[in-house]
């Protein structure tokens, strides 16, 4: 029996129209464009500011574009998985809302939560459903409305994050392309350094939690930065070595877009020049689970069939990892 690989056959993306610039942020908190660009590398971020719209709205936009580009029949979609830290509701899942909005009748769907590493975990999850032989068309979506939990009076975190969504179609192939290998890790040590204090079952919402701003993202930046640099660098080097990849035959590195200095540190460790590293943090900021697929959406026309690509990310938990993908088609600019 031929070996089944899981190959990415298309990508769709969406970012909201409203752009929050560094100049606007400098009117909210004591900062400026130079400080933000030097330390984080973000010039602007897209914000979903319409009343009553959440992550599922952006996910739907990205998935609709994906289905149109790949010519997918809604009845043929077997599975939808959404990685998000900002679901529309505690329940039902954002993926279930997406099924309804896309008119999918034959799919099952669930959400996956691994913070900024969510899309890495999605790729491995989808690949294994495909390898089982029982599923043929899977949509995976990274979608986060980070503005919904950012405190715009906190100078340390408010310049970092933006909103967006992007989606991949994953299908079976017997060719030697697709999601080839992964190294994924979780250690649980990160709880004190990156979390939202209230709103869960440990500390349900109350007047006290709202008054004390406990429903915003809390991050100890220096600690997270240090762990992100070492873990993303180590795991990227490990997956390259495991698969015989070197700076010469790695075509692209797609790093999580959290901080331009983290991205540069990973490239330096891999001895890969920055022109082989896909970077769009300047225009989107950190969109959490959406950063990796948004990068591919942005740079799709540069990708060639057979390109060796290493995806890597680091997120709350701590969660981190790297996925090695042999790209399955020649990207082209949309006409």
32 is catalytic: no
286 is catalytic: yes
DSSP letters of 210-269? HHTTTTSEEE-HHHHHHHHHHHHHHHHHHHHHHTT--TTT--EEEE--S-HHHHHHHHHH
Backbone angles phi, psi at 33, to 5 degrees: -60, -45
SS3 5: strand
106 is catalytic: no
Residue reference for tokens 């950012």: 150
- Do domains 3-175 and 178-325 share one topology? The answer is yes
Residue among 256, 259, 295, 308 flagged as catalytic: 256
Strands 163-173 and 138-145: antiparallel
Residue boundaries of the structural domains of the chain: 3-175, 178-325
pTM for the whole thing? 0.98
Residue among 116, 259, 295, 308 flagged as catalytic: 116
pLDDT of residue 82: 99
Cross-sheet strand order for the sheet of 308-315 = 178-186, 319-326, 308-315, 252-255
CA distance 250 to 265: 17
CATH class of 178-325: alpha beta
- What is the token pair recorded at 185? 């890790």
- For helices 291-299 and 118-131, the axis angle rounded to 10 degrees is 80
Cβ atoms 80, 62 nearer than 8 A: no
Per-residue model confidence as pLDDT tens for the chain (335 residues): 789 999 999 999 999 999 999 999 999 999 999 999 999 999 999 999 999 999 999 999 999 999 999 999 999 999 999 999 999 999 999 999 999 999 999 999 999 999 999 999 999 999 999 999 999 999 999 999 999 999 999 999 999 999 999 999 999 999 999 999 999 999 999 999 999 999 999 999 999 999 999 999 999 999 999 999 999 999 999 999 999 999 999 999 999 999 999 999 999 999 999 999 999 999 999 999 999 999 999 999 999 999 999 999 999 999 999 999 999 999 986 54
- For 3-175, CATH number? 3.40.47.10
pLDDT of residue 335: 42
Run of H or E residues at 170: strand 163-173
Cis peptide, bond prior to residue 82, ω within 30 of zero: no
């Amino acid at each position: 029996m031929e070996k089944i690989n899981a190959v990415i056959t298309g990508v769709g993306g969406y970012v909201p129209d409203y752009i929050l610039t560094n100049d606007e942020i400098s009117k909210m908190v004591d900062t400026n464009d130079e400080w933000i660009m030097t330390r984080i590398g973000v010039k602007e971020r897209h914000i979903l500011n319409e009343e009553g719209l959440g992550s599922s709205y952006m996910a739907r936009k990205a998935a609709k574009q994906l289905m149109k580009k790949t010519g997918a029949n809604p009845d043929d979609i077997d599975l939808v998985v959404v990685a998000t830290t900002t679901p529309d509701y505690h329940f039902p899942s954002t993926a279930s809302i997406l099924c309804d909005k896309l008119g999918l009748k034959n799919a099952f769907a669930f959400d996956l939560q691994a913070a900024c590493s969510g899309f890495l975990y999605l790729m491995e999850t989808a690949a294994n459903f495909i390898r089982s032989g029982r599923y043929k068309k899977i949509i995976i979506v990274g979608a986060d409305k980070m503005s919904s939990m950012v405190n715009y009076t906190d100078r340390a975190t408010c310049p970092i994050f933006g909103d967006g969504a992007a989606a991949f179609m994953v299908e079976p192939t017997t060719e030697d392309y697709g999601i080839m290998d992964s190294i994924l890790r979780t250690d649980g040590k990160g709880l004190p350094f990156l979390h939202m204090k209230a709103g869960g079952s440990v500390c349900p919402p109350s007047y006290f939690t709202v008054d004390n701003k406990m429903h915003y993202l809390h991050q100890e930046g220096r600690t997270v930065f240090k762990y992100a640099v070492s873990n993303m660098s180590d795991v990227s080097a490990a997956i390259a070595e495991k698969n015989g990849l070197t700076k010469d035959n790695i075509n692209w590195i797609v790093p999580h877009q959290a901080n331009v200095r983290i991205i540069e540190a990973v490239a330096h460790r891999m001895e890969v020049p920055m022109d082989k590293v896909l970077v769009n943090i300047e225009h989107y900021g950190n969109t959490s689970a959406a950063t990796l697929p948004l990068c591919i959406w942005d740079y799709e026309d540069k990708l060639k069939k057979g390109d060796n690509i290493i995806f890597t990310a680091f997120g709350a938990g701590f969660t981190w990892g790297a996925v090695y993908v042999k790209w399955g088609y020649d990207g082209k600019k949309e006409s």
